[in-house]
Amino acid sequence: MVFRFARDVFYRSDIYNRMLRRHGTAQIHALGIDPLPGDPVRGAGILNGEMILAARKRTLGPHPFAADLKSRHAVADLYGFSWLRDLAALSAPGARETAQALTRDWLRHHDRWDPVTWAPGVTGARILAWLNHVDFVTESADNGLRMEMAAAAAAQMRHPARGDRSGMENAEIDAAPFTAGAALVAGAVGLPGLEALLDTGLDRLRAAVDRDLLADGGHRSRAPESALCTLSRLVMAARALRAGHKPVPEFLSDAIKRLAPAVKATVLGDGALAAFNGGSNGAAHRVAAILGAANQRGAGPTSLPDWGIERLQAGTTTVVADTGGHGGLHAGALSFELSSGRHRLVVNCGAHPDETTEWARVLRSTAAHSTLTVNDTDALPTGRPEATDLGLSVRRNEREGSSLVQSAHDGYRRAFGVVHNRDLYLSGAGDDFRGKDTLVGGSGAFTLRFHLHPETGASLLEGGDAVLLKLPGGKGWRFRCSGARPELEESVYLGDPARPRRCGQIVLRGEHRGRETAVRWSFLREGA
């Protein structure tokens, strides 16, 4: 504690600021390595004085960087400058001038060390954004702005290169280490005089790959969206090296080749990600852009046992199931998402990046996932980045095009003596998806939920023993079950956390008494 206090005092001092700027550079070269396109709608919002930060619309005011932001994700969104791509995508008058004004405001008030706004992941994102869009920002401006950006970027590069890792406390749940490493690599290429930092950046990336990428290519966070962001950072690092006519090391190209198929395995029929473990669905155009930049053209694997993802696909039906250990933030053990063609049928409720909101707490719960709860409690503690031990078993069988995944978790054993088993089966034609949830040991009331996508219509049929599900375009599925009666209730969907949407859910309730209780259910395509 004393050391950290003394360190922070030194980092804030004029002496340290001069040290970082002692051998400044007056040049910064645009690299154009960002695989993501900008969003002109968001760019127009910025022109109107509004910005989406941590999925919440906020009024910028005359001095945006003076805002008191409680959410670390909101800080990362604002100070990471990723919004430059949205302004750059906007052809409207004033876009460049707005980018210049915001950049100057940051340079005027925040170009020296701060424990939050200079955290490695935030600083890395800012450097990458500047290297991508410096030409857009500085065109038609006096040369002083470009020189200021170059000097500030060089100072920000030198700080993490000195070995400071403060602000990496949440590195195990996001892409921050990869962002910081990619920025050092790109900065060594785009900032003349900082070439010596290239090896440092590659070492940081190699360490992050060794720590956070699993043997099957999955990301240690267990969140597909974090894996997608990590992949984009690896792609940017590789592109920067090629732009500087430098070789891409084998560990980096291998990491991209491992991670890209893993991400592809979590993509549903609409082209977006399954929303697991604190991530949203990622938006289909973003997913396609990053996977395309990673040269991921083929299908992803069907089984990722280290990551805890199982994919069942046949015909136009896709199921992505979470069968892995606890990631520490969400308690969606054994949940799944289901798509038919380009439409989602069954979903999880999603996630919200602003950890200060009630949304974030509610969406972490087991009840916000398409899985089973016992006594209205979470299967595991939520909201902590550290993982919690979870007893798991997973088996997979393939036969004549059909797939069967059998999994179990013991998250309810300590409190109620209950083990939850779930079997998922998809026929070879993709028109018959069925499951069985079995509770073994202990006792308690259970609730089985299937959250429905907002575009999925639902109505009870046949005296309440079945549910007819209608997709856009009129195609239908029929839900049946035994061991409980279905009810239709309201739910909410935050696949895009900036746009909460009402939806429905199929709910099955019952009492588990005795040795074993089983509930069977099925989704059958109409007309099959």
- pLDDT tens profile 506-526: 999 999 998 999 999 999 999
Same-domain pairing of 420 and 496: yes
Same-domain pairing of 143 and 228: no
How much is the pLDDT for 355? 86
Which of 128, 7, 142 has its CA nearest to residue 79? 128
Q: Tell me whether residue 413 is in a domain.
A: yes
Q: Tell me if 286 sits within 8 A of 273, measured CB to CB.
A: no
| Boundaries of domain holding 196 | 168-303
Phi, psi (5° rounding) for residue 115? -65, -25
Phi, psi (5° rounding) for residue 372? -110, 140
Find the CATH number of the domain harbouring 339: 2.70.98.70
Same-domain pairing of 140 and 201: no
Longest dimension (CA), the chain: 79
Residue-by-residue pLDDT tens, the chain, 528 positions: 655 655 555 555 555 555 556 666 679 999 999 999 999 999 999 999 999 999 999 998 888 888 888 899 999 999 999 999 999 999 888 999 999 999 999 998 887 777 788 889 999 999 999 999 999 999 988 879 999 999 999 888 876 665 555 444 444 446 899 999 999 999 999 999 999 999 999 999 999 999 999 999 999 989 999 999 999 999 999 999 999 999 999 999 999 999 999 999 999 999 999 999 888 888 999 999 999 999 998 889 999 999 999 999 999 999 999 998 765 578 899 999 999 999 999 999 999 999 888 988 999 999 999 999 999 999 987 655 555 567 789 999 999 999 999 999 999 999 999 999 999 999 999 999 999 999 999 999 999 999 999 999 999 997 888 999 999 988 999 999 999 999 999 999 999 999 999 999 999 999 999 899 999 999 999 976
pLDDT digits (tens, 9 = 90+) for 231-288: 999 999 999 999 999 999 999 999 999 999 999 999 999 999 999 988 888 899 999 9
Same-domain pairing of 280 and 360: no
Domain boundary among 106, 129, 157: 157
Domain boundary among 157, 191, 207: 157
Strands 516-525 and 432-440: antiparallel
Q: Tell me if 173 sits within 8 A of 328, measured CB to CB.
A: yes
Interior/surface letters 135-151, b for 16+ CB within 10 angstroms, e for the rest: ebbbeebeeebbbbbbb
Q: Tokens 């400044």 sit at which residue? A: 24
Phi, psi (5° rounding) for residue 279? -110, 155
Q: Tell me whether residue 162 is in a domain.
A: no
pLDDT digits (tens, 9 = 90+) for 322-343: 998 765 578 899 999 999 999 9
Same-domain pairing of 58 and 194: no
Q: Tell me whether residue 53 is in a domain.
A: yes
Which of 190, 13, 234 has its CA nearest to residue 112? 13
Same-domain pairing of 450 and 382: yes
Same-domain pairing of 175 and 105: no
Q: Tell me whether residue 369 is in a domain.
A: yes
Question: 87: which 2 tokens?
Answer: 């302004």
Same-domain pairing of 284 and 318: no
Q: Model's pTM, two decimal places?
A: 0.93
CA distances from residue 108 to 103, 212, 473, 492 in whole angstroms, order as listed: 9, 36, 54, 42
Question: 189: which 2 tokens?
Answer: 């290429």
Q: Tell me whether residue 96 is in a domain.
A: yes
Same-domain pairing of 278 and 353: no
| CA–CA separation, 430 and 324 (whole Å) | 24
How much is the pLDDT for 453? 98
CA distances from residue 37 to 43, 90, 288, 339, 383 in whole angstroms, order as listed: 12, 11, 11, 26, 32
Which of 49, 340, 75, 21 has its CA nearest to residue 193? 21
| CA–CA separation, 170 and 386 (whole Å) | 9
Q: Coil, strand or helix: which one is 125?
A: helix
Same-domain pairing of 138 and 26: yes
Q: Tell me whether residue 163 is in a domain.
A: no
Q: Tell me whether residue 376 is in a domain.
A: yes
Same-domain pairing of 382 and 439: yes
Domain boundary among 248, 282, 303: 303
Same-domain pairing of 389 and 452: yes
Structural domain count of the chain: 3
Interior/surface letters 212-224, b for 16+ CB within 10 angstroms, e for the rest: bbbebbbbbbbbb
